[in-house]
Copies of this chain bind each other. A is one copy, B any other.
Amino acid sequence: VKKKPPTSQPSPPAAKPWEAAQGHGSACDPLAARFVESLSYDTRLYRHDIAGSIAHARMLAKVGLITADDLGAIERGLDEIRAEIDAQGEAWPGWRIELEDVHMCIEAALIEKVGDAGRKLHTGRSRNDQVALDLRLWANDAVDALDASFHRLYAAFINLAARDGRIVMPSYTHLQRAQPIVVGAELLAWLEAFGRCGDRLATLMLMDRDNPLGSGAIAGSSLALDREATTQALEIFEQPTASSLDATASRDVAIDFVYALAMTAQWLSRWAEQWIIYASTEFGFITLDERYTTGSSMMPQKRNPDMLELIRGRCGNVYGHLVALLTICKGLTIGYNRDLQEDKRHLFAAYDTVRDGLAMAARIVATTHFNEARIADGLDRGFLDATSIAEYLVTRGLPFRTAHQIVGRLVKRCLDRGVPRLADLKIEEFNTVCRDAGAGGDACGKDVYDWLGPANVVDRYRSAGNAGTSGFEAQLAVWRKRLADTAADIRC
């Protein structure tokens, strides 16, 4: 390898450079200890781990594998540990990196507290089914938390729609001006998309409600574990997993979760991009609150939409986590493999990113204003009513493809003669063009003007789900009702 010229300080860059100097007195290989541990990212499971252990211990007592005294000691010990970690967090002395993970740290602390009873907790259990359980318990809580985040975002869109939703604006296909709509139609389009994201997460998480606890290391147990009992005690499950091999080898729950997050990130990135464009000087459709932009002390008028940019960019992070999980599982044999340990790293990071993204999105939506005057300024540009007049001609009996051609000639006439708007053409000109296209000379009546101009157009849309006044009002009512049903749960 040809090398670039040496630099003056060739020392290897450490993650945090000051860590480089730290000596490791450990007898065994310190890299090995650092290499296998998951404690640096799995401590957030402690409540779920303890809840799972208590359910397991109660079942062991029920079937007679431990005594009532053992159970009492275990419950007391685990309650104490939870309280300690609640209070001390990262500073809890039980976090010992050499024990590798949250499970072993808690079990070790328990044994220290209650002795032999603690040594019985792991009866008929393995870390393989234990972590599979913890993950599902955590996912269940995480879905609840995200559900609240989604609802806050829904509420923010609805509130904004209620205030600014009736402003007439252009819609865009190919980022080119297409037809006039009301602002609310776009807001409720985002709402549909995010609503689908929330539904997808809930649907995927409800798909598989099997309790892995009791699957052991890979083959189950020869002890008479009562898996129905733990299933019932843990509340969120419907039945025990049917295959101990599958239960300990699958990470489908984690991947499904991250996929649902990736789809949410997709829509967050699309919405962010749209609003970044709307916030540009050239569009000027919206004004973002200065709390959610970064100004410049040199250019106080400037409002960089950094939050939106970060939301957009972090879509990449979540996609990356999905790819990582899919790659990890590609070609992996059945039965637990240590590769699977990495799942939590991606699951937790993707969750944090999307949860924060949703929260920030709700704040931005709640504080943004659509600039009615500025939007109105440009509404006459782009012949936004061209499709409307074609539909008018259809109501006058012309085949659509013929009407389509006629409108093309009308617009061309405007362009050729410097007429800015279709509404500025005289009725005779409309009919001349129709006649020239072989459509009869009275295709247009005076009512043609009722179909022209953005304000007329948005009021004329009649199809269900349209982006004009009637579609907006109907859809807004649906969402208000939907939100009202769950309002008690939302803390906006």
Contacts and interface: CB of A to CB of B under 8 A. Distances in A.
Interface in A85-115: 85-90, 111
A49 B345 CA distance: 29
Given A89-B16, A471-B220, A203 B207 contact: yes
A119 B245 contact: no
A462 B244 CA distance: 12
Nearest to A6: B144
A36 B307 contact: yes
A224 interface: yes
A158 to B, nearest CB: 14
A12 interface: yes
Contacts of A328: 313, 315-317
A489 to B, nearest CB: 9
Nearest to A149: B12
A96 B338 CA distance: 38
A120 B394 CA distance: 9
A398 to B, nearest CB: 9
Nearest to A208: B196
A298 B218 contact: no
A475 B281 CA distance: 29
Contacts of A471: 220, 243-244
Given A301-B383, A464-B228, A465-B241, A35 B310 contact: yes
A217 B461 contact: no
Contact of A325 (B12, B276, B316): B316
B36 A15 contact: no
Contact of A189 (B206, B249, B478): B249
Contact of A299 (B221, B249, B408): B408
Given A1-B202, A300-B415, A325-B316, A124 B463 contact: yes
Please classify the interface of chain A as helix (H, G, I), strand (E, B), loop, or mixed, using the class held by over half of its residues: helix
Given A5-B236, A220-B467, A281 B390 contact: no
A283 B283 CA distance: 8
Contacts of A307: 32, 35-36
A297 B408 CA distance: 5
B217 A207 contact: no
A271 B246 CA distance: 12
Contacts of A34: 356
A255 B263 contact: yes
Contacts of A266: 255, 326, 329-330
Nearest to A215: B465
A464 B270 CA distance: 37
A1 B143 CA distance: 12
A31 to B, nearest CB: 6
Contacts of A461: 219-222
A173 B304 contact: yes
Contacts of A490: none
A17 B86 contact: yes
Interface in A183-236: 185-186, 188-193, 195-196, 198-200, 202-209, 214-225, 227-228, 235-236
A457 to B, nearest CB: 7
A355 B35 CA distance: 11
Given A176-B304, A312-B331, A7 B323 contact: no
A262 B320 CA distance: 13
B207 A200 contact: yes
Contacts of A449: none
Contacts of A173: 128, 217-218, 248, 304, 335-337
A79 interface: no
A255 B266 CA distance: 11
Nearest to A276: B175
A439 to B, nearest CB: 11
Given A16-B44, A335-B173, A119 B463 contact: no
A421 interface: no
B467 A245 contact: yes
Contacts of A15: 44, 348, 352
A432 interface: no
Given A312-B331, A320-B324, A3 B337 contact: no
Contact of A342 (B2, B316, B323): B316
A269 interface: yes
A280 B177 CA distance: 8
Given A173-B304, A411-B298, A219 B29 contact: no
Interface string A433-473: 00000000000000000010000010011111111100100
Given A3-B147, A173-B336, 7 more contacts: A12-B142, A119-B402, A176-B280, A192-B243, A244-B466, A282-B378, A296-B408
